Structure 1
């Protein structure tokens, strides 16, 4: 099977359900950004992390594929069974953040991204996640989007922030605290 189909050469693509839309369509922008986020999560996962953190990031990548499938579907035309997000997927991120935060010092400052390459990759993933969330919220204003998608992306960006802090702690790197000029 060839990877190229030439069906997108005119600037249109198909949603699950067969509806063709412009590649600039809000739905394409949303799931494309989720795909970009998934790639950055893969980059974070390729860093020096413990096996548990790598397993959690793999689980997140799986859920992002679920989200991508949901966003790539025409909510009115698709008859294909699309995997669902569950409340437990959101709770999983919350529990993992709670566990990480048990080891972290109290947050008393805003944190500037950086400190080590792996930490910076995590912050980039967090920013892409926030952009994906904004795009999905915008899409939800004009078309159906499962509400758990927005909730998951919101928690995921928080998780990535906490993970970046934990990565600093594990590597003995001082966090870049933002202290405003007076």
Structure 2
């Protein structure tokens, strides 16, 4: 593998070197996403070259085995970049999990601040110590709600009129 890494161009070698553990240790999530996309592009490039060149050589040499053996360099480079991509993906996954956990803790802390505390509120005789949040029905002003309530009132009035008519 080191012989193949030495045959990489300078830009490719630098890209592979950036995927080493020590190099990625201080990168944040955005930088890792950028590195991941660059390594994935390089891997896709050599996979595509390997497939295309292999297909051409199969046509010329009339054998898949000889077509593959003549295309080892592209396959090796694709493998180098596949390993590099795996390293970056693992690190990106770990950083993303840490970030998600931090956001979750922040959200929970904010929810704790907004929620009523058991020690607050009136000291009543009941089991509930806090007065709780005031809940307002926000659907009261909707036109559908108004129609529903008007219909319900009208139906009640009709029932009452029917009862009154029977009594008299």
TM-score (norm 2): 0.29
**Whose helix proportion is higher, 1 or 2?**
2
**Whose strand proportion is higher, 1 or 2?**
1
- Larger-Rg structure: 2
TM-score (norm 1): 0.27
